[in-house]
Amino acid sequence: MKTNIYKLLKGTFLVSDDSFKNWRFILFISALAIIMIASSHSADKKVYEIARLKNEVNEMRSAFIDGRSRLMKLKMESNVVEVMQEKGIAPSVIPPKKIKVKSQE
């Protein structure tokens, strides 16, 4: 047991006669580690992109709601009357009359 650990620490398994199997395994493990690291970086990049897009959606939603509330205020009858009075147009004091059209059948 002690000699095996000593050989492992010295690295004799990398230079012995049957070391080709060991090198293949080490290269395989190294390739898997590189693929795993690249995959995690890609996943992190996607997570950051999703967070950025969520923030952008929230900003656009709040801008939409703000614009819609400003439009509602502009469409209010009191606001329309005020703007028209500045232009010299006043609301009618005579109420509107209904016009009924009868068909000629």
Phi, psi of 59 (to 5 degrees): -65, -45
| Host H or E run for residue 93 | none
Phi, psi of 95 (to 5 degrees): -65, 155
- Read off the pTM: 0.57
Distance from C-alpha of 101 to C-alpha of 54, rounded to nearest angstrom: 55
Q: What is the pLDDT of residues 51-100, one digit of tens each?
A: 999 999 999 999 999 999 999 998 998 888 888 888 888 888 898 889 98
Q: What is the pLDDT of residue 29?
A: 95
Domain boundaries, the chain: 7-86
